[in-house]
Amino acid sequence: MVPLAEAWSSGAWAWTTSKRQSFANDLGGPQLWAVTDNVNQAKSDQDPAEWQPPRSSFDCTYARAWIQVKWYWGLSVDSAEKSALTSMLASC
């Protein structure tokens, strides 16, 4: 969900190695999702300001999960990311 590079720039740089490993392997929340290779490559390490799911009908689910991961792990959200998430949630 939240790519490792995005997490790093959002605060994971200050985490211990153990906490970064926990984040990367979190199976208890919405952090890891199975997606097709094409979707994974298209998304890469981008946040919602740069990439959104190809099906707009999935925007609400995606935005809510993104916010949940950022909140749970105490990661920051920049203004462009917040604006994109707000727009995505407006369709809910």
Q: What is the pLDDT of residue 56?
A: 84
- Domain of 15 in residue numbering reads as 4-89
Count structural domains, the chain: 1
Instruction: Quote the CA–CA distance of 25 and 22 in Å, as a whole number.
Output: 5
Mind listing the pLDDT tens digit for each residue in 23-52?
Answer: 998 888 776 666 566 765 666 677 899 888
Q: What is the pLDDT of residue 40?
A: 59
pTM of the predicted structure, to 2 decimals? 0.85
Average pLDDT over residues 1-21: 94
Q: How far lies 6's CA from each of 2, 14, 77, 91, in Å?
A: 6, 13, 10, 25
Q: Tokens in use for 23?
A: 């984040």
